[in-house]
């Protein structure tokens, strides 16, 4: 039976470090302030934003939520992002995704790039993604950091490890593959057009799955003693929350595995907090 990588307790360690840093900033008279932008009334996004708010408040980060209706104009959104980016009292700005297509169309990249890269706590501006390509000294996407932290909790040295990243989205798959490559792993990226996915995953020391397909990774697709990181969050028709991995069967073969819920989700929020404090420090010459 695999070791369960407990994302909740790993996240608690990261949050405690952030809380200490925020206390030190406050002791020196500083305030860490974070603004989230939510467009529309998507229930899942509302829950994610509320979780972020709670997480901020617990570590002493001031949180403000800016909402726009789903029928707002593109210009309303860009004006808000520009205003928050220019506000010197705000250290971090995040646009909750997805944004209704009726508002952004195919211009999401343009909107994200309006966020000051020094305040881009999701790490999704071209400037920060570019720095990741260059070896990584910008703000790094939170989920990618959470994945790296989860892997290193059971395998500290990734040098030469063969990792298969299933999924190539801008928010998870691509930045994660870059971050893991920067840590000297040999990374193969698979996606919906990959032929014979199982052939790739079966040869991997570590498999990271971020597809949004419940139970995509099955036991026959995994090498014995592989490390399995499940990023997926899927709500089944019966209301149950599951990942992209057939946890019950794969956990009998793997050496370590993240659960859903309680795996990468809490780590993503913890690394968002870490990025907010990192953003504050960059803006104050740290
Ligand atoms: P996305 O839809 O943008 O991308 C999905 C990726 O999976 C694509 O690159 C696609 O090519 C690939 N894919 C789809 N079907 C496939 C298949 N059958 N075989 C191989 N590849 C396939 O999704 P995303 O934003 O990257 O999110 C992926 C999942 O991770 C979702 O369930 C999402 O809810 C979850 N997620 C979790 C966290 C977290 O904090 N735990 C954060 C972000 C996303």
State pLDDT tens for residues 81-130: 999 999 999 999 999 999 999 999 999 999 999 999 999 999 999 999 99
Residue 63 and residue 153 in one domain:
no
31: cis peptide before it, omega within 30°? no
Which of 52, 119, 131, 274 is labelled catalytic? 52
Residue 228 and residue 190 in one domain:
yes
What's the CATH number where 168 sits?
3.40.50.720
Q: pLDDT (tens digit, 9 = 90+) per residue, 121-155? A: 999 999 999 999 999 789 999 999 999 999 999 99
132 in a structural domain = no
Give the contacts of 74 (CB within 8 A, at least 6 positions apart): 103, 104, 105, 107, 111
User: Nearest C-alpha to atom 8 of ligand 1 is from which residue?
Assistant: 167
What's the CATH number where 56 sits?
3.40.50.10860
Q: pLDDT (tens digit, 9 = 90+) per residue, 156-185? A: 999 999 999 999 999 999 999 999 999 999
Residue 80 and residue 158 in one domain:
no
Based on the structure, what is the number of domains in the chain? Answer: 2
198 in a structural domain = yes
Choosing from 169, 243, 271 the residue with most ligand 1 atoms within 8 A of its CB, the one to mutate for a pocket test is 169
10 Å CB burial of residue 223 (0-12, 13-18, 19+) is middle
124 in a structural domain = no
- Give the pLDDT band (50/70/90) at residue 285: confident
96 an active-site residue? yes
17 in a structural domain = no
The domain containing residue 61 runs over which residues? Answer: 30-117
């Amino acid at each position: 039976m695999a070791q369960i990588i407990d994302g909740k307790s790993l996240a608690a360690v990261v949050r405690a470090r952030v809380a200490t840093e925020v206390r030190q900033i406050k002791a020196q008279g500083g305030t860490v302030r974070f603004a989230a932008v939510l467009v529309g009334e998507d229930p899942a996004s509302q829950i994610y934003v509320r979780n972020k708010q709670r997480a901020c408040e617990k570590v002493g980060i001031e949180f403000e939520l800016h909402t726009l209706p789903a029928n707002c104009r593109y210009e309303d959104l860009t004006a808000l992002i520009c205003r928050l980016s220019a506000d010197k009292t705000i250290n971090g700005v995040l646009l909750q995704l997805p944004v209704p297509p009726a508002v952004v169309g195919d211009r999401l990249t343009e909107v994200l790039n309006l966020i000051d890269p020094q305040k881009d706590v999701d790490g999704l501006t071209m400037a920060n993604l570019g720095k990741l390509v260059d070896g990584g000294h910008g703000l790094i996407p939170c989920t990618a950091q959470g994945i790296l932290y989860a892997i290193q909790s059971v395998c500290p040295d990734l040098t030469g490890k063969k990792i298969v990243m299933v999924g190539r989205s801008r928010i998870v798959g691509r930045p994660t593959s870059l971050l893991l490559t920067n840590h000297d792993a040999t990374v193969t990226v698979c996606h919906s057009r990959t032929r014979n996915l199982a052939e790739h995953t079966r040869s991997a020391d570590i498999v990271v799955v971020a597809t949004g397909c419940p139970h995509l990774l099955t036991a026959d697709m995994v090498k014995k003693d592989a490390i399995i990181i499940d990023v997926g969050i899927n709500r089944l028709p019966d209301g149950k929350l599951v990942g992209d991995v057939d946890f019950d069967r794969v956990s009998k073969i793997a050496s370590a595995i993240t659960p859903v819920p309680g795996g990468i989700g809490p780590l993503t929020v913890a690394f968002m907090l870490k990025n907010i404090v990192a953003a504050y420090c960059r803006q104050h010459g740290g």
